[in-house]
Structure 1
Amino acid sequence: MQVIETKKLTKTYTALTAVDNLDMKIEKGEVFGLLGPNGAGKSTTLLMLTTLIPPTSGTALVNNFDIIQEPDRVRKSIGIVFQDPSSDEVLTGYENLKLHGLLYDMDAKLREERIVEVLALVDLTGRKDDMVKKYSGGMRRRLELARGLMHYPEILFLDEPTLGLDPQTREHIWEYIKKLATEKHITIIITTHYMDEADRLCDRLAIIDRGKIVALGSPDQLKKDLGGDIVRMKMKNFDKDKLRDLDYVKDVKEDDGAISVTVKDAGRHLQDLLARVGTVESVEVRPLTLEDVFLHYTGRTIREGAPEGGWAEKVMAARLRK
């Protein structure tokens, strides 16, 4: 069952096309990733799907509600956790959750029951009466998750959910996200520029580059579609066209003074490959990664810099003031 469908979803800013005729379908209960570098269009897509900015053209259905014609019904059925923490630092964890429940006009009894539930889910029951300014970065992120779940959303949007967190805290956040999908059956849409995060969490993902989907599928399927292993060789002279003519070679790329060859069944063909290329200074054989998939479809590696966005909370604040 589909819970999100985009139909030629497009967003332009003067001469810049941030999202370009996006068509995709997301199934109920899956963890779906939007993977791409800074400026790819991930956060812009999320902001349109959550009705915070209007598309220039096209539309989307979120939980069977049109984002243009039925924005209020869309917002009631989703939860959102943006990149930057937006909880009030001078309120306690409990008070932040209560405020969120009041904004959604939740019944008082249900609101209190739900606060207890979501605090337990993210292991913050013992810190509920502490002011948020005393929370660590990981605790704040968990509180943001709890707040996004307060009103029983059927779909949860997470924009760069582990940005700036240490490796151990990232692992813990991943566990919470997986628990939400498997135990609570919530559909989760994640934007990320971290390959390991996409590989670990996503049932399926769309690789977005310059506003377009360039590949879509499960992480394993995307790697399988490329096929084989990567043989990376350093050498002084080589003929790329000659290598491409070999029936077991699927792709050849040159990078950083070396050549990377995607080889089907490298264990079987490695010796023949090395014999054909001549003198090799060094060789490395490894399985395909999502980084290789991204390089294949975009022609460049993903930039592990600061992600796009950072202004989503300002958009949300402006909408709430209206």
Structure 2
Amino acid sequence: MSAIHVTGLTKRYGDLVAVDAVSLDVAEGEFVGVLGPNGAGKTTLLEMVEGLRRPDAGGVEVLGEPVWPRNPRLQPRIGVQLQASSFFERLTAREQIRTFASLYGVGQTTADGWLERVGLADKAGSRVEDLSGGQAQRLSIACALVHDPELVFLDEPTAALDPQARRNLWDLLSSINDSGRTVVLTTHYMDEAEVLCDRVAVMDHGRILQFDTPAALVRGLDAPARIRVAPGALTAEQAGAIPGVTETRADVDGVVLVTRDPAAVIGALAAGDHLDGVTVQTGTLEDVFLSLTGREYRA
């Protein structure tokens, strides 16, 4: 059974088609990322899958249950962290998560343990309005996970976090997924999607353009390799004369050689004793994203 089964899902706002006949399946235990520029329809899609927004067309089943009209049987089985979360006023972080936990019949000890897991034990007595943006984000995630849901939806969960907090949250999300839980997240961080996700859906203008593993998406791009040699090892002219090099670029960090035959170019560099400090970069998920969605600025 699929954890999520979506067929022909559509949402319109006047003349704007925010989600355009999207169909997809997410397997139980899978970690899926949804990528897309601002306005691509990611949040609207997730809100319909979560049962928070009524579709204009199409259908959604989550854990074998229809989500609309709002299905109370699903609420204890899913966890949702929204892009913008609201908390009860004037409550401390400990009181907030204990309140959320009580809605699901979860004890206070478990609730307090989640504060520890997201690195907020030292802020347990602080009111939410006194937390930083990143700390409030971590509290929101803890509240979404406190009842140990089977399926977790996270909308840009690391957007306000510093690099250390992001990495710690990656470890937490990986451990949740490793325990058999299904996780779906939207993110603007390509490295996050590559590290965490089994499959990635690239979305734009309300449609899913590609849905596959990060490695398969990169392979399908057929992007050239970029080989950087250390400063002083070669001039751009010398690099350009190596068979298989199609483009060179010199900067303060050395010379970059662009090629679709990296093995031959590396062999030539080795023969000339120019391998010290060499780095090789192949295509990335960011290259896939830009290839599919373009480079123009989005509002």
- TM bin, normalised by shorter chain, reads 0.7 to 0.9
**Is residue 266 of structure 2 the alignment partner of residue 289 of structure 1?**
no
Instruction: Report the CA distance between 1:9 and its aligned residue.
Output: 0.7
**Number of the residue aligned with 1:161:** 157
Displacement of 1:168 after TM fit? 2.5
**Are 1:99 and 2:99 an aligned pair?**
yes
State the partner residue of 1:25.
Answer: 25
- For residue 87 of structure 2, what is the amino acid of its counterpart? S
Whether 2:219 is the aligned partner of 1:224: answer yes
Give the distance between the partners of 1:270 and 1:229, measured in 2 at CA: 14
CA shift for structure 1 position 128:
2.0
Which has the larger displacement, 169-178 or 57-66?
169-178
What amino acid sits opposite 1:79 in the alignment? Answer: G
Q: Which amino acid aligns with 2:158?
A: T
Matched residue of 1:23: which SS? Answer: strand
Q: Please, which runs of 5 or more residues in structure 2 have no aligned partner?
A: 228-243, 245-257, 268-278
In the TM superposition, 1:121-140 aligns within 5 A as 121-140=117-136
- Give 3-state SS (helix, strand or coil) of 2:126's partner: coil
1:103-162 superposed Cα distances (whole Å, 9 cap, x missing partner): 34x2xxx42232133223223334322222333333222211111112221111111111
The match for 1:72 is: 72
Which amino acid letter does the alignment assign opposite residue 119 of structure 2? D
Offset at residue 89 of structure 1 (A): 5.5
Using the TM superposition, name which of 139-148 and 124-133 deviates more.
124-133
Q: TM-score if structure 1 supplies the norm length?
A: 0.73
Residues of 1 paired with 2:82 and 2:60: CA distance?
A: 20
**Hey, what does 2:109 align to over in structure 1?**
113
Preserved contact between residue 31 and residue 181 of structure 1 (Cα < 8 Å) = yes
1:56 counterpart = 2:50: no
The 5 A counterparts of 1:1-322 are 1-69=1-69, 71-88=71-88, 90-104=90-104, 106=105, 110-182=106-178, 184-230=179-225, 264-268=260-264, 286-298=281-293, 300-301=294-295
Aligned AA for 1:288?
G
The range that moved more, 3-12 or 262-271, is: 262-271
Render the CA deviation track for 1:240-263: whole Å, top value 9, x for unaligned: xxxxxxxx9xxxxxxxxxxxxx96
Judge conservation of contact 2:43–2:155 (CA < 8 Å) in 1: yes
- d(CA) in 1 for partners of 2:162, 2:109: 32
CA deviation string 1:255-303 (max 9, x = no partner): xxxxxxx9643443799xxxxxxxxxxxx974101121123333x1375
2:292 alignment partner AA = Y
Whether the 8 Å contact between 1:50 and 1:74 is mirrored in structure 2 is no
* AA of the residue aligned to 1:301: R
For residue 280 of structure 1, what is the aligned residue in structure 2? none
Determine helix, strand or coil for the equivalent of 2:40: coil
Distance 2:163 2:10 in 1: 35
Counterparts of 2:146 and 2:168 in 1: how far apart (Å)?
20
Q: What code does the residue aligned with 1:29 have? A: G
**Could you list the runs of 5+ residues in structure 1 that have no partner in the other structure?**
233-247, 249-261, 272-283, 307-322
C-alpha RMSD of the superposition? 3.0
Report the AA paired with residue 131 of structure 1: R
Q: Rate the CA distance shift 1:113–1:168 in 2: closer, same or farther, 3 A.
A: closer
Q: Is the 8 A contact 2:51 2:69 kept in 1?
A: no
Count of matched residue pairs: 263
Q: 1:64 to 1:219 in 2, by over 3 A?
A: same
- Partner Cα separation in structure 1 for residue 89 and residue 189 of structure 2: 28
With normalisation by structure 2, the TM-score equals 0.78
The answer to whether the 8 A contact 1:33-1:191 is kept is yes
Amino acid at match of 2:134: G
CA shift in 2, pair 1:53/1:267, >3 Å = same
